[in-house]
Structure 1
Amino acid sequence: MTNKRLYLIRHGHTVWNGPPLRFQGQMDSSLSETGRNDAIALGKRMPYQPDRIISSPALRCRQTVDCLFGRRPDEIEPRCIEIGLGWCEGLLATEAAEIDAHAVRTWQEAPWEGSPWGGESLEVLQKRVVAGVTDIVAGIKADERVFLAVHGGVLRTLICYVNDLPLSEYSNIEMPNLTLMELAAEAVMRGGSNIRPITPEEMI
């Protein structure tokens, strides 16, 4: 049986991605000029318009879809929003460090150890992301081309799950803005699905 294919992308560079870095989490921030231009350029390389586009509810993901394909998402998947970062959302990293330097250091050095600022843990993020993506994959029809715009944290935890990696590998997974990935699977399974970075030219 032919695997279903879901194409996923991290949103473009935002005004909060810095420098200076501002913690985004689930708060909205707009694409920067660089982010918009890069997404438009990438969109020109896309081989086709997807049959269905799904997005995180975050503004930066919806703007990325518009820059790539010149249209709005067909669906919003709330379970694919970025990790909730609690009280530090919207703060510069330096501002958060002035409030609680230990919390910032813990998140930067060992984010898998929990949420140092009252937000979500990576385990909670991974659980809801896997549930959301599982439902999306289950709903893909034969020969349907489906595209999902999400976040770096969402993609990292999904990669850990399908490759059966511990969440301690989270920080070792490089995820630049506009990273494009392909998930090929009949179902989302721990250690049983194929997810890989691709270029637009490799999209089927």
Structure 2
Amino acid sequence: MTNKRLYLIRHGHTVWNGPPLRFQGQMDSSLSETGRNDAIALGKRMPYQPDRIISSPALRCRQTVDCLFGRHPDEIEPRCIEIGLGWCEGLLATEAVEIDADAVRTWQEAPWEGSPWGGESLEVLQERVVAGVTDIVAGIKPDERVFLAAHGGVLRTLICYVNDLPLSEYNNIDMPNLTLMELAADAVVRGGNNIRLVTPEEMI
């Protein structure tokens, strides 16, 4: 029996991705002109319309879906929203440094050590993401093509779980905007090693 397939993508470039960089977390920001154009161009390469599209509730993910497929998400999965960054959300990186340079340094250099600004830890993020994606995969019907639009932090922690990597590898996982991946599995299993980068032409 063919494994279920879930396609996942990080949202397009946003006005807060910079420059200048502004911490987004769970706050809403819109796609930039570059983000929209890149998503539209990628959408033209998609081989088909998904049977079902699921999105983080964040505006940038919903806009990415619209640019890719010309439609709204069919479902919203709150557990796949980006990590909560506490007091620094909405601040320019330079503003956050002025308030607490050590907190910014900790997040940039060792985010797995906890939340330096009173938000979520990577462990908490990973736990809710794995629970959300597990439920999504369980609900995929035979031959159904399902697509999930989410965030860099969400997808990095999912990769760590599926590939049985410690969260200390979080910063080593490259996740540009519009990174496209395939999770091929009947269940989300730690160490399953069944998530990979794909191009639209490789989607089946």
* Same fold? TM cut 0.5: yes
Does 1:32 find its partner at 2:32? yes
Question: Structure 2: how far apart are the matches of 1:60 and 1:112?
Answer: 25
Which stretch of the first structure deviates more once superposed, 126-135 or 191-200? Answer: 191-200
8 Å contact 1:183–1:193 — kept in the other structure? no
User: Number of aligned pairs?
Assistant: 204
Question: Structure 2: how far apart are the matches of 1:186 and 1:193?
Answer: 13
Superposed CA deviations along residues 87-134 of structure 1, whole A, max 9, x for unmatched, are 000000100000000000000000000000000000000000000000
Gaps of 5+ in 1: none
Deviation at 1:164, TM superposition (A): 0.2
Question: Structure 2: how far apart are the matches of 1:92 and 1:172?
Answer: 24
Question: Structure 1: how far apart are the matches of 2:16 and 2:130?
Answer: 26
Question: Structure 2: how far apart are the matches of 1:172 and 1:132?
Answer: 24
The SS at the match of 2:82 is coil
Superposed CA deviations along residues 18-64 of structure 1, whole A, max 9, x for unmatched, are 01110000000000000000000000000000000000000000000
Which residue of structure 1 lines up, in the alignment, with residue 88 of structure 2? 88
Question: Structure 1: how far apart are the matches of 2:192 and 2:113?
Answer: 25
Deviation at 1:2, TM superposition (A): 1.3
Question: Structure 2: how far apart are the matches of 1:15 and 1:136?
Answer: 29
Question: Structure 1: how far apart are the matches of 2:192 and 2:146?
Answer: 20
Which stretch of the first structure deviates more once superposed, 163-172 or 192-201? Answer: 192-201
Question: Structure 2: how far apart are the matches of 1:77 and 1:49?
Answer: 19
Question: Structure 2: how far apart are the matches of 1:193 and 1:55?
Answer: 23
Gaps of 5+ in 2: none
Question: Structure 1: how far apart are the matches of 2:10 and 2:19?
Answer: 18
Question: Structure 2: how far apart are the matches of 1:80 and 1:125?
Answer: 9
The SS at the match of 1:100 is helix
The SS at the match of 2:5 is strand
Deviation at 1:192, TM superposition (A): 1.5
Deviation at 1:193, TM superposition (A): 4.4
8 Å contact 1:137–1:188 — kept in the other structure? yes
Identity %: 94
